[in-house]
Amino acid sequence: HWMANIRSLTSDLSEAVSKRAVYGGDVYGTITDLTRQNQTAVGAFSAKVQFNTHAYTIKNFSFAFDGVKYNENNSGQLTANNKNFKIDVQKDSRNLYTSGYFIGRPQLKGAPPPGMGGDFAIKGPSYNAGGIFIGNRKNVNDSR
């Protein structure tokens, strides 16, 4: 993964079975289009995650960058605990592609990982952007 040595362990996700967590943080990237060659921009993201024994589900993924908000409210795709999530969202003529995973080890056994991060690309007519997103766990609920 793009962040060496701080990736959460598969067992961390499995031990968080039946927990739901909200993650949120910052987006950092570079834009290349017809008018802004290599301009940097920032944004924000948030995601709700449901943890299970062998897989996790990301729901309500929200991503804002360069003045555009990308929302995927029906993500709901199961991802194996040892795999990166991938979420793609189309907004107008642009397509957002994300890949990420969980960061850090929980302080308490059975708690979800403390962070989430990954990389992204946005493609559109005469528009390209790419960068990273990284954030912290905001809250946890037990769904049992």
- pLDDT value at position 4? 53
Whether residue 61 is contained in a domain is answered as yes
Whether residue 1 is contained in a domain is answered as no
Whether residue 4 is contained in a domain is answered as no
The tens digit of pLDDT for each residue in 1-41 reads 345 558 899 999 999 999 999 999 999 999 988 777 789 99
Query: Which one has a higher pLDDT value, 118 or 35?
Result: 118
pTM assigned to the model: 0.90
Whether residue 133 is contained in a domain is answered as yes
Whether residue 67 is contained in a domain is answered as yes
Angle at 5 between CA 42 and CA 38, to 5 degrees: 25
Contact between 50 and 142 under an 8 Å Cβ cutoff? The reply is no
Number of domains forming the structure of the chain: 1
Whether residue 24 is contained in a domain is answered as yes
The tens digit of pLDDT for each residue in 77-117 reads 889 999 999 999 999 999 999 999 999 999 999 999 999 99
- pLDDT value at position 36? 73
Contact between 89 and 63 under an 8 Å Cβ cutoff? The reply is yes
Whichever domain contains 95, its CATH number is 2.40.160
3-state secondary structure of 111: coil
Count of CB atoms situated within 10 Å of the CB of 103: 21
Whether residue 5 is contained in a domain is answered as no
Per the structure, the complete domain to which residue 135 belongs is given by 10-142
pLDDT(61) > 60: yes
- pLDDT value at position 2? 44
Mean pLDDT of 41-68: 95
Whether residue 3 is contained in a domain is answered as no
